[in-house]
């Protein structure tokens, strides 16, 4: 079904309502999060594989302010509303929420995912302690997908800079 990607972008409160409807119908919610600054194949493959783990996939995207705090003053390259739209354009993504923090423990507590996915560059010990605590409280299964070599926003940015 061809859906307008903008319709997938939700406030946290709307996402919580949607999440409750999933729970009532016995459907499993998968969540992952990140900056998703320059969308590339690594992101698309990771999100496609994450969606296969459950019945619906929600992506938490760091706001512009949070990306700048995490990555530095030259980031993000793509504004949050455009990053959210691009992620929402992927068929594997069911919902997108932009959050204004470096960490999404508040959102994870509110949404209580069944499954939480991170890339293989993370381990349980590398997860933020507050996010890990929120996931453990909700009983979420934590899955680490293998890192897809050769795809990195930082590498793409550096390659572009080297051509200037």
The enclosing domain of 83 has a CATH number of 3.40.50.620
Average pLDDT over residues 55-80: 95
* CA dihedral sign of residues 61, 129, 31, 48: positive
Question: Which band of pLDDT confidence, cut at 50, 70 and 90, is reported for residue 138?
Answer: very high
pTM: 0.91
Strands (E), 6-119: 29-34, 56-62, 95-99, 115-119
Question: Which band of pLDDT confidence, cut at 50, 70 and 90, is reported for residue 150?
Answer: low
Residue 69, classed as helix, strand or coil, is: helix
pLDDT of 5-53, one tens digit each?
999 999 999 999 999 999 999 999 999 999 998 888 888 999 999 999 9
Domain that holds residue 156: 5-163
Average pLDDT over residues 62-66: 97
C-alpha separations of 151 from 49, 61, 98, 111, 155 in Å: 16, 18, 23, 29, 7
What's the structural domain count of the chain?
1
**β-bridge mates for residue 29, sequence order:** 56
């Amino acid at each position: 079904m061809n859906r307008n990607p903008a319709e997938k972008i939700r406030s946290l409160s709307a996402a919580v309502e949607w999440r409750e409807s999933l729970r009532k119908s016995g459907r499993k919610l998968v969540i992952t999060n990140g900056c998703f600054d320059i969308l590339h194949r690594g992101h698309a493959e990771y999100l496609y594989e994450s969606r296969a783990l459950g019945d619906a996939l929600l992506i938490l995207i760091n706001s512009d302010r949070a990306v700048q705090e995490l990555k530095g003053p030259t980031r993000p390259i793509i504004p949050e509303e455009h990053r959210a739209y691009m992620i929402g354009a992927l068929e594997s993504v069911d919902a997108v929420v932009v959050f204004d923090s470096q960490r999404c423990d508040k959102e994870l507590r509110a949404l209580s995912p069944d499954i939480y996915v991170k890339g293989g560059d993370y381990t349980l010990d590398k997860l933020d302690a507050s996010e890990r605590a929120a996931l453990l409280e909700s009983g979420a299964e934590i899955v680490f997908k293998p890192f897809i070599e050769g795809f990195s926003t930082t590498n793409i940015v550096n390659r572009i800079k080297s051509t200037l």
